[in-house]
Amino acid sequence: MWAIRTAVNYFFEIVQLLVLIRVILSWVPNVNMYSKPVKFIYNITEPIMEPVREFTARYINLGPIDISPIIVLFLLSFVRNVVLRLLFIL
């Protein structure tokens, strides 16, 4: 059971790190969006970011400011804590 908890924890940490890297890449000018590492990061994080981005665009309209990465990081942290607590119960 310890191995499962550790693997779940690492999974969520890696996804959170990829979201942070994506945010940093969006700030850096002249990043080749078609390079394999950048495409990999976007392909991994887009299924998580898109629903949150649509929700914030519809209900929390801040104009050009995209707060979806902040919300995604909070949601990932919350889900990770819930899953790990459930695994500790088992």
Q: Which pLDDT band holds residue 89 (cuts at 50, 70, 90)?
A: confident
Query: Over the stretch 26-85, which tens digit does the pLDDT of each residue have?
Result: 999 999 999 999 999 999 999 999 999 999 999 988 888 999 999 999 999 999 999 999
Give the pLDDT confidence score for residue 1 in this predicted structure: 81
Give the pLDDT confidence score for residue 25 in this predicted structure: 94
- pTM listed for this prediction: 0.90
The DSSP secondary structure of 13-46, one letter per residue, reads HHHHHHHHHHHHHHHSTT--TTSHHHHHHHHHHH
